[in-house]
Amino acid sequence: MTTTFSHLACIACGRRYETDDIRYRCDCGDLLEVRHDLEALAHAYPDLKARFESRLGKFEKPYCSGVWRYHELILPDLPVAAIVSKPEGNTNLYHSERLSRAFNTRNLYLKHEGENPTLSFKDRGMTAGVSWARHLGMTRVACASTGDTSAAMAAYAAEVDGMRGIVFLPHEKISPEQLAQAISYGALTLAIETDFDGCMRLVAEVCARRPIYLLNSMNSFRIEGQKAIGLETLQQLGWRVPDWFVIPVGNAGNISALGKGLLEARALGLIDRLPRLAGIQARAADPFYRGFLTGFKQRPVVEAAPTYASAIRIGDPVSRDKAARAVLAFDGVVEEVEEAELMEAKGMADRAGVSVCPNSGVALAGLRKLRAQGTIGDAETVVVILTAHGAKFSRLGVDYHLGALADAQPSAPNPPVRVRPLLDQVLAALDKEG
């Protein structure tokens, strides 16, 4: 393969590797990232913004995708013929009076990544990761997952003839909807009696021993696809830069991707300044928050306790160093929120007509906290990244309104009203409400 624009580089020692070298870490043990020669890109494509604009409204793959619209910035060396796209992206950026009032933030935008094909942002990483796997000729792909990575990987592997997806799931720690996704898309599904961190260690060992391509977010190519969340948001805002991006943090790949994409966008002149970043965690699993409190001098590892935000129940985030770098480069902050706060915030978005998952509830609760502290000002423009759809956690949504969650009582409960199938009873129920 002749690499034109990109190579892999270690984030600690800087050592370079070719992009067809199948490796997830540097020889020194640290993380790798894909680096693009931005000068060469700018030279080859002097009209990047116009290119991205010209692809809007197109229906043909791959450029109709909200990831591959930015092909030159995602994986410029990947041939179009290798791309596996559903397509993905093109998610709504919600902005309404109702939402602004609910979250006491005038210029509020919610980027709803739950509107991707498998209902989470993981599709953006997987279209890049599975495409790269196909490009490399890998026929087996694997990941450990808190539910959404496995759903996305299974769905993208299912599109490629001869490709097998293998998922490592923590037994009974993901939602039934997420489990249904992995098995119905045909992945070999291993339910393992451990937590996510245990699954992560196992899958990394297995991929080192078998010719299986690892598609966790320590795979740098996935991160490239996830950058498109930020790029697409900027394009939807007419390339105006918001003051803040607020995003939930688990394994810390997504906030790293957001930061990387924004830095590249500025280096290429697509934008002229940087926003600030706010990473939010659930208190039950808050190692990144704890690291932030030490100025990232320490890298705490915790045993992640149960949380409704099960997709970010991670005690030892793989991408913490990349994420820490992003938080520092963007004058960022990290906050944490309680179970009751994240469910309350989820309930508020749901009630305003935007169905969100509890992990997105973490980001929304973080916004409320940062607004209350005054860290985020009233007039500032804020984009909150919603990471998955509420439909992936429907039991939780019902239990919340039934008042069945011990540590999160709804402030506006709306349980179903039981009525017998008699007209006068139905009318009585309506009239009672007024």
Ligand X SMILES: *Cc1c(COP(=O)(O)O)cnc(C)c1O
Binding footprint of ligand X on the chain (CB under 6 A): 120, 122, 148, 217, 248-254, 311-312, 357, 359, 387-388
Two tokens at 372?
A: 């209350």
Contacted entry of Zn ion, ligand X, none for residue 78, CB cut-off 5 to 8 Å set by kind: none
Contacted entry of Zn ion, ligand X, none for residue 251, CB cut-off 5 to 8 Å set by kind: ligand X
Phi-psi region of 329 (alpha: psi -120 to 50; beta: other; left: phi over 0): alpha
Element at 125 (helix H, strand E): helix 122-136
**Shortest distance in whole angstroms from residue 257 CB to ligand X:** 7
Letter for the amino acid at 264? Answer: E
Contacted entry of ligand X, Zn ion, none for residue 120, CB cut-off 5 to 8 Å set by kind: ligand X
Buried b (16+ CB within 10 A) or exposed e, 206-238: bbeeeebbbbbbbbbbbbbbbbbbbbbbbbbbe
**Shortest distance in whole angstroms from residue 10 CB to Zn ion:** 3
Please report whether residue 50 would count as binding Zn ion according to CB under 5 A.
Answer: no
Torsions phi, psi for 337 (to 5 deg): -135, 155
**Please, which residue, 163 or 356, has the CB nearer to ligand X?**
356
Quick check: bond before 413 cis, omega within 30? no
* Choices 24-32, 231-239, 284-292, 407-415; region in contact with Zn ion by CB under 5 A: 24-32
Two tokens at 173?
A: 């720690």
**Please, which residue, 30 or 177, has the CB nearer to Zn ion?**
30
Q: Which of 6, 8, 26, 212 binds Zn ion (CB under 5 A)?
A: 26
Please report whether residue 31 would count as binding Zn ion according to CB under 5 A.
Answer: no
Element at 183 (helix H, strand E): helix 176-184
Q: Which of 1, 13, 427, 428 binds Zn ion (CB under 5 A)?
A: 13
Please report whether residue 25 would count as binding Zn ion according to CB under 5 A.
Answer: no
* Choices 21-29, 74-82, 94-102, 150-158; region in contact with Zn ion by CB under 5 A: 21-29
Give the full edge-to-edge strand order of the sheet including 333-337: 93-94, 107-112, 381-386, 244-248, 276-282, 333-337
Please report whether residue 30 would count as binding Zn ion according to CB under 5 A.
Answer: yes
Please report whether residue 10 would count as binding Zn ion according to CB under 5 A.
Answer: yes
Compute the distance between CA of residue 317 and CA of residue 295 in angstroms, rounded to an integer.
Answer: 16
* Choices 27-35, 53-61, 119-127, 209-217; region in contact with Zn ion by CB under 5 A: 27-35
* Choices 19-27, 37-45, 76-84, 155-163; region in contact with Zn ion by CB under 5 A: 19-27
Two tokens at 315?
A: 């005690």
**Please, which residue, 222 or 371, has the CB nearer to ligand X?**
222
Q: Give DSSP secondary structure letters for 253-297.
A: HHHHHHHHHHHHHHHTTS-SS--EEEEEEEGGG-HHHHHHHTTTS
Interface size with Zn ion, residues (CB under 5 A): 7
Contacted entry of Zn ion, ligand X, none for residue 16, CB cut-off 5 to 8 Å set by kind: none
Contacted entry of Zn ion, ligand X, none for residue 253, CB cut-off 5 to 8 Å set by kind: ligand X
Contacted entry of Zn ion, ligand X, none for residue 252, CB cut-off 5 to 8 Å set by kind: ligand X
Contacted entry of ligand X, Zn ion, none for residue 388, CB cut-off 5 to 8 Å set by kind: ligand X
Could you give the 3-state DSSP secondary structure of residue 142? strand
Instruction: Supply angle C-alpha 259, 388, 79, rounded to 5.
Output: 60
Q: How far is CA 218 from the centre of its chain?
A: 14
**Shortest distance in whole angstroms from residue 174 CB to ligand X:** 10
Measure Cα distances from 364 to 230, 238, 279 in Å: 17, 24, 11
Q: What residues line the site for Zn ion (CB under 5 A)?
A: 10, 12-13, 15, 26, 28, 30
